[in-house]
């Protein structure tokens, strides 16, 4: 019976580590694809939507770090996803593209990209 090669096992681990980032991105896409009813607000205090954007994209960048991306790549990937998401929202009824939302996405992505992933040995990766 053939055994798995080390390269195949590494590829499988890499794929499994990437699944949370893909699921997180899909969740963001699904949220932004939901039409907003006219006049509906999900939070009553000013800036709540910017905080939500920052938190969502901090999570996106953190899951990308967990997947093994270096901080700069995780930040850039999350910001590009944020820009894509803002463009996507232009096509959804009741939604608009807002440059300030993208700025909030970038701030959150910077925080999430700063997360340090711990390898199996227990010491933080650099």
Rounded to an integer, what distance in angstroms lies between the CA atom of residue 9 and that of residue 16?
Answer: 11
pTM of the model: 0.81
Give the pLDDT score at 3: 61
Instruction: Render pLDDT for 66-75 as a digit per residue (tens, 0 to 9).
Output: 999 999 999 9
Is 72:21 a contact under the CB 8 Å cutoff? no
Percent with pLDDT over 90 in the chain: 59
Long-range contacts of 12-20 (CB under 8 A, 24+ apart): 14/67, 14/68, 17/66, 17/67, 17/68, 18/67, 18/68, 20/63, 20/66, 20/67
Confirm if 71 and 62 have CB atoms less than 8 A apart: no
Q: So what's the pLDDT on residue 11?
A: 82
């Amino acid at each position: 019976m053939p055994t798995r090669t080390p390269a195949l096992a590494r590829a499988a681990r890499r794929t499994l580590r990437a699944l949370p980032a893909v699921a997180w991105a899909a969740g963001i896409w699904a949220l932004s694809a939901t039409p907003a009813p006219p006049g509906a607000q999900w939070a009553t205090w000013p800036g709540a939507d910017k905080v939500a954007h920052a938190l969502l994209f901090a999570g996106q960048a953190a899951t990308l770090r967990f997947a093994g991306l270096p901080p700069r790549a995780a930040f850039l990937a999350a910001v590009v996803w944020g820009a894509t998401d803002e463009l996507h929202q232009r096509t959804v009824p009741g939604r608009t593209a807002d440059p300030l939302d993208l700025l909030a996405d970038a701030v959150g992505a910077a925080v999430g990209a700063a997360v340090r992933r711990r390898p199996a040995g227990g010491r933080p990766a650099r």
